[in-house]
Amino acid sequence: SENWGLITYRTVDVMFDEQTSGASTRERVAEVVQHELAHQWFGNLVTMDFWDGLWLNEGFATWMSWYSCNKFYPEWKIWQSFVTGDLQSALSLDSLRSSHPIEVPVKRADEVNQIFDAISYSKGSCVLRMISAYLGEQTFLEGIRRYIKKHAYGNTKTEDLWAALSDASGKPVEKIMDIWTKNVGYPVVTVTENEGSNTIHVKQNRFLRTGDVRP
């Protein structure tokens, strides 16, 4: 639990044997420890305004745990595990009709626990990784520094994050990213070539595991 200044862990999340524990155990311990440490900034120092911004806590802490693991242990090639782990978890859940947007409206108290899932954690971290790649790592980190500095000891909405990143990069981040956080699912692009007319036709639809989406 990411209590401010007093993080508590289960024993299994912090203990490993250097002689017998495998690589996956070491990675899990490093990831969990750094996830909860990240919450000291993302969740405690700066807290989401309401539950529809949960991903600002959990998506950020998830992304930061992978980012810091990669910095501390580059030999682990941790981003490869991210693709087979968090990315695939997000894609799997988001391909269902029952999925929800990253910024999901919460109207009743009994809906809160339902959004602590792969969308808030894994898809949230995936879109952060995506915008970091688009803006460039250093520009992205500068935007995050501005976001934390401006909103320290306060509450934020997703648009506050986009504003900080836009300020740091000079790019319309909110316009780019709203479609990824306010909408459910992700696209599949189908390209058809017509050799007779020497043209191609590009079609984009939401990807569903059942494959029954119509144009």
Torsion sign over Cα 169, 175, 178, 179: negative
**85: helix, strand or coil:** helix
Residue 58 known to bind ligand:
yes
Helix axes 124-135, 173-181, angle to 10 degrees: 160
Cα(172)–Cα(174) distance, integer angstroms:
6
Amino acid in position 187? P
Q: Tell me whether residue 151 is annotated as binding.
A: no
- The answer to whether the CB of 122 falls within 8 A of the CB of 91 is no
CA dist 168 and 136 (Å) reads 11
- Is 142 annotated to bind a ligand? Reply is no
Which stretches of 77-186 are assigned E, i.e. beta strand? 154-156
- State the catalytic residues: 36
Q: How far apart are CA 152 and CA 45, in angstroms?
A: 5
Cβ–Cβ < 8 Å for 60, 42: yes
Binding residues: 35, 39, 58
Binding residues for Zn(2+): 35, 39, 58
